[in-house]
Chains A and B, each alone.
Chain A
Amino acid sequence: MKYVTLVITLVLTLTIFYVLNTKMGSLPPLGQFLNPVSGIWQNETDESISGAVSIPGLTDKVTVHYDEQLIPHVFAQNEHDLYKAQGYITAKHRLWQLEFQTHAAAGRLSEIFGEGALTYDRTERRRGMGYGAEQVIAYMKQHDPETLGFMQDYADGVNAYIDQLHPNDYPVEYKLLDYTPERWSIKKSSLLLMYMTKTLAGYDDDLEYTNVLRLIGKENFDLLFPDFFDSTDPVIPSNTDWSFIDVPQTPLPASKAVLDTIPETIAKPHPDNGSNNWAISDKKSATGNAILANDPHLSLNLPSIWFVMQLSTPSHNAFGATIPGALGVISGFNQHIAWGETNATRDVIDWYKIKFNDDRTQYRYDNQWKDVMVRVEDIKVKGRENFKDTVLYTHHGPVVYDVNFKSDNERSGYAMRWIAHDGGNNQKTFIELNKAKNYDDYVNALQHWNAPAQNFVFASTQGNIALWIQGKFANKWEGQGKFLMDGSKPENDWQSYIPKRFNAHTKNPERGFVSSANQHPVDENYPYYVFNDRYETYRNRVINDFFASKETFSVQDFKDLHNNNYNLKAAELVPYMLEHMETSSLSEDEKTIYNEIKAWDFNNDINEVGPSIWRQWYGKLYTMLWDELDSDTMALTKPKTYQTIYILKNYGNHEFMDIVETKDKTETAKDLFLLAFKAAAKRLKEIKEKDGDYTWANYKGTHIGHLLQGLPAFSRFDIPIGGDRNIVNATSEDHGPSWRMIVEMTSPPTGLGIYPGGQSGNPGSKYYDNFIDDWAAGTYHSLNFMQSDQKTTDIIGSQTLKPKQNE
């Protein structure tokens, strides 16, 4: 009997051990996860910010002061030590994010999440993320071993932190998902740079356009998707003289688009990824100092994409927003200049149809057969054997779509030509900008920049302002790359690149300010083809009108403009709809809503109901109008808002106005206004019954999701902030100003900055999300730009990083 009892208790003990030591579905291994000695209770604390730490490979002492916002002010004696310290400090506060972002970039999420992430991973690998990162390293090895050395320093710094990290102190996400951090490398920093490129220059609609063109014909296509809108307010002012450009645009070959049917395309970055930046010269400034502002609009996440730091050596002193994984300050200032970026939104991805031979070892090009290069992507999948994906590479680039992925044609595929595969040295641009002292240094720093093409804004303590649209751009023939091209014809290849000195730019323009908001770079007088499918058309005009409205501007004006909620697109359509809509059939409830939007002044403020009515009304209208472009069997895209409004107002009787479903009736724009309004009113009534009201803050419900699939426990919800997409304050539900910076070019510069997050990546820290309320309220934190390593009063902790002895 006692043996039976023994066996039963033994089994029971082993069972409880197994249950508490094993990850069960989404539940972490509870014994490991919850025990106070090594589990999450150890993360119930802030990161330590005092004392001394030994770091291998440091050549000298590095002092790190933390201010009350937990911004580290790093004082190193040389650049190698500086980037080691940046790696170390970044890892200390953001280790999990640092690694997770590069796993995501590399297509390695299946390792953590299992099979569910496999399509994502395959997509990232097939678009050549890993290949592109390898090209970056190859390029730098050949041309710039110095910067590569700094990247190794950064890696050493991250690894110094990982090596001394006890498993008890692993960030909570590792404990939740039950895995461990791996060592950092140059490759990971390169992947991070690829991730930036994908986020900002990874969007294109070429294949969708191809389908639309085949469906509706050229005349309708050109009406719906014009190269230029009826009015443009470009980044580089319209009256700019381009006569110095002596390299002509590539002449048009006799090439036709390939009108294939493409059923499905790969996932794309968020279409709202964009930004604002602007600067005013000393003459336009109320104080006589140039002022610069930048606010990049990205997905709102925790931990935030940005980590604010001061990075200094005896020869330079930079301050601003860094991105975990990249070296130096990305958007910020030093003692002499300030800089910031917005996305240039140019089309740097084109697609080529590839014809293979029977065994898919060669493809047709210039009436010959050319060998394909085979790259096997070996994808680790948690709980399963690895998945091997064969990707064929042509001279254009990877064949993303073929018989193995989203296509069933044995003999053909679509290859991607993407500037991000060309290698490059973006990292050097940031390192040089951090050290730049004047306009010439800034221009020199930009020479290394290939992609993602950016509008780099500049201001200096000398009062100069400038803006360069920088990137490596193909010198395309008119219309090149708008649609799928025949990959066998050499004339369809990118023939050459626009010399960088001919990239559009402006220095100290007469109007006294420069600005960019992802709109058209230039007007039609610029001699190169600059088409893109998603130039912005609203924020730019609000910003430029603002700076044309008076003589001089102050920092307060800059704050007001960042927080400007004026909804120009509603202002351009709502009055027209109200005027032309037949109102006699409106019910009492609908009348109420009608009067509400009639009374709206077009500001998307949190307590207004107008923005919610507009969203519903326009949303329904858009769906009804473009129902011709709904399809389950092929990938399509629909016109942009600007052109939609233009067509509604100028082509009210066009065949597209008809709702396809209603066979016996042919609708016009006027009919759609009413139908959409009634549908919107019905929906708004439902929202009111469910949520109490539809004021803008409630309707929009801005939230900031944790990077791990928006894990609610680590996210923030219902943040009271106005704005919306296409508004200067571009805050939509989950996307918006991810960093707001204003720098007045006093000597030394005076900086203000804030972002929707906090310096710590630890959900258990009070610094995890402590900036969010101030950010939502439109306020700023003043940035303590320390001029020496002497402690000031707002320093709450200091840490010394020391060279490790006995090496």
Chain B
Amino acid sequence: MSKNRINFIATLGLAILLSFVLPWWSIMIAALLSALSIPLQKAAVFFIPFLAIVVFWILYCFILSSANDFILAKKIAQLLQIGGNPYLLILLTGIIGGVAAGISGILGKQLSVVFLHKK
């Protein structure tokens, strides 16, 4: 398996596990730890954890919300003034999580470069 794939699975798995014990920023820890142990190159440093969390959050949101006819998602989408569109809210949620994870991935990578001398 490529490092990209391994990191993706590790980030996703860690994020799910840590979410049981830590608040929302557990995804940042998951991305950071994966990046430290499984360093990636170039754009993948950001995009692999980004994608892992986007998948995690979007899927989970969709499962919860579709089971309830998106009743609350529509209202929150109105509240946040994104036109009352529940899918847009799900996408926005995914991107927020993804960006937070991606940035943490970059930090993990930089930490590994400086302290673990990994490339």
Confirm or deny: B110 has a beta carbon within 8 angstroms of a beta carbon on chain A: yes
Confirm or deny: B68 has a beta carbon within 8 angstroms of a beta carbon on chain A: yes
CB atoms of A2 and B113 under 8 A apart: yes
Confirm or deny: A626 has a beta carbon within 8 angstroms of a beta carbon on chain B: no
CB atoms of A31 and B24 under 8 A apart: yes
Nearest 7 pairs of A and B residues by beta carbon = A764-B72, A713-B79, A35-B24, A36-B60, A713-B78, A6-B110, A44-B72
Bound Cα distance A765, B23 (Å): 24
Confirm or deny: A348 has a beta carbon within 8 angstroms of a beta carbon on chain B: no
Confirm or deny: A376 has a beta carbon within 8 angstroms of a beta carbon on chain B: no
**Which of A6, A21, A31, A762 lies in contact with B114, CB distance below 8 A?**
A6
Q: Mark B53-91, 1 if CB is under 8 A from A, else 0.
A: 000010011001101111111011011100000000100
**Distance between A104 CB and nearest chain B CB, rounded to angstroms:** 21
Instruction: Determine the chain B residues whose CB is within 8 A of the CB of A6 once the complex forms.
Output: 107, 110-111, 113-114
CB atoms of B71 and A766 under 8 A apart: yes
CB atoms of A13 and B104 under 8 A apart: yes
Instruction: Determine the chain B residues whose CB is within 8 A of the CB of A37 once the complex forms.
Output: 19, 24, 26, 60
Bound Cα distance A300, B60 (Å): 35
CB atoms of B79 and A36 under 8 A apart: no
CB atoms of A35 and B97 under 8 A apart: yes
CB atoms of A34 and B92 under 8 A apart: yes
CB atoms of B75 and A764 under 8 A apart: yes
Bound Cα distance A712, B110 (Å): 45
Confirm or deny: A38 has a beta carbon within 8 angstroms of a beta carbon on chain B: yes
Within 8 A of B (CB), among A5-57: 5-6, 9-10, 12-13, 16-17, 20-21, 27, 30-32, 34-46
Bound Cα distance A31, B100 (Å): 9
Within 8 A of B (CB), among A185-236: none
Sample of 27 A–B contacts (CB below 8 Å): A3-B114, A5-B110, A6-B107, A6-B111, A6-B114, A13-B106, A16-B99, A16-B103, A20-B24, A21-B24, A21-B25, A31-B100, A34-B92, A34-B96, A34-B97, A35-B93, A35-B97, A36-B61, A36-B93, A42-B64, A44-B64, A44-B71, A44-B72, A713-B75, A713-B76, A763-B71, A766-B71
Closest to A6 in B: B110
Confirm or deny: A129 has a beta carbon within 8 angstroms of a beta carbon on chain B: no
CB atoms of B100 and A45 under 8 A apart: no
CB atoms of A41 and B60 under 8 A apart: yes
Instruction: Determine the chain B residues whose CB is within 8 A of the CB of A594 once the complex forms.
Output: none
**Distance between B60 CB and nearest chain A CB, rounded to angstroms:** 4
Query: Which applies to chain B's interface (DSSP): helix, strand, loop or mixed?
Result: helix
Q: Mark B14-38, 1 if CB is under 8 A from A, else 0.
A: 0000010001111110000000000
Interface residue total, chain B, C-beta cutoff 8 A: 39
Instruction: Determine the chain B residues whose CB is within 8 A of the CB of A780 once the complex forms.
Output: none
**Distance between A771 CB and nearest chain B CB, rounded to angstroms:** 16
Known contacts: A9-B103, A32-B23. The answer to whether A711 contacts B79 by CB under 8 A is yes
Bound Cα distance A617, B67 (Å): 51
CB atoms of A9 and B110 under 8 A apart: yes
Bound Cα distance A43, B99 (Å): 24
Known contacts: A16-B103, A17-B100, A32-B23. The answer to whether A41 contacts B78 by CB under 8 A is no
**Which of A12, A172, A711 lies in contact with B103, CB distance below 8 A?**
A12
Confirm or deny: A100 has a beta carbon within 8 angstroms of a beta carbon on chain B: no
Instruction: Determine the chain B residues whose CB is within 8 A of the CB of A768 once the complex forms.
Output: 71
Closest to A15 in B: B103
**Distance between B76 CB and nearest chain A CB, rounded to angstroms:** 6
Instruction: Determine the chain A residues whose CB is within 8 A of the CB of B61 once the complex forms.
Output: 36, 41
Bound Cα distance A475, B54 (Å): 71
**Distance between A178 CB and nearest chain B CB, rounded to angstroms:** 13
Confirm or deny: A714 has a beta carbon within 8 angstroms of a beta carbon on chain B: yes
**Which of A17, A36, A172, A712 lies in contact with B78, CB distance below 8 A?**
A712
Instruction: Determine the chain B residues whose CB is within 8 A of the CB of A2 once the complex forms.
Output: 110, 113-114
Query: Which applies to chain A's interface (DSSP): helix, strand, loop or mixed?
Result: helix
CB atoms of B107 and A13 under 8 A apart: yes
**Which of B79, B96, B114 lies in contact with A20, CB distance below 8 A?**
B96
CB atoms of B69 and A31 under 8 A apart: no
Instruction: Determine the chain B residues whose CB is within 8 A of the CB of A172 once the complex forms.
Output: 72
Bound Cα distance A17, B78 (Å): 25
Bound Cα distance A765, B69 (Å): 10
CB atoms of B67 and A45 under 8 A apart: yes
**Distance between B13 CB and nearest chain A CB, rounded to angstroms:** 15
Within 8 A of B (CB), among A691-713: 711-713
Bound Cα distance A382, B37 (Å): 42
Bound Cα distance A5, B93 (Å): 28
CB atoms of B57 and A35 under 8 A apart: yes
Instruction: Determine the chain A residues whose CB is within 8 A of the CB of B68 once the complex forms.
Output: 44-46, 764, 766
CB atoms of A20 and B100 under 8 A apart: yes
- Which of B69, B71, B106 gathers most chain A CB within 10 Å? B71
Known contacts: A17-B25, A35-B57. The answer to whether A40 contacts B110 by CB under 8 A is no
Q: Mark A169-181, 1 if CB is under 8 A from B, else 0.
A: 0001000100000
Bound Cα distance A32, B70 (Å): 19
- Which of A13, A39, A43 gathers most chain B CB within 10 Å? A13
**Distance between A536 CB and nearest chain B CB, rounded to angstroms:** 37
Known contacts: A31-B24, A31-B100, A38-B24. The answer to whether A45 contacts B64 by CB under 8 A is yes
CB atoms of A766 and B75 under 8 A apart: no
CB atoms of A31 and B25 under 8 A apart: yes
CB atoms of A44 and B103 under 8 A apart: no
Instruction: Determine the chain B residues whose CB is within 8 A of the CB of A38 once the complex forms.
Output: 23-24
Bound Cα distance A38, B67 (Å): 17
CB atoms of A13 and B28 under 8 A apart: yes
Bound Cα distance A2, B60 (Å): 37
Bound Cα distance A762, B79 (Å): 15
Instruction: Determine the chain B residues whose CB is within 8 A of the CB of A9 once the complex forms.
Output: 103, 106-107, 110
**Distance between B57 CB and nearest chain A CB, rounded to angstroms:** 5
Instruction: Determine the chain B residues whose CB is within 8 A of the CB of A762 once the complex forms.
Output: 72
Instruction: Determine the chain A residues whose CB is within 8 A of the CB of B97 once the complex forms.
Output: 31, 34-35
Q: Mark A143-179, 1 if CB is under 8 A from B, else 0.
A: 0000000000000000000000000000010001000
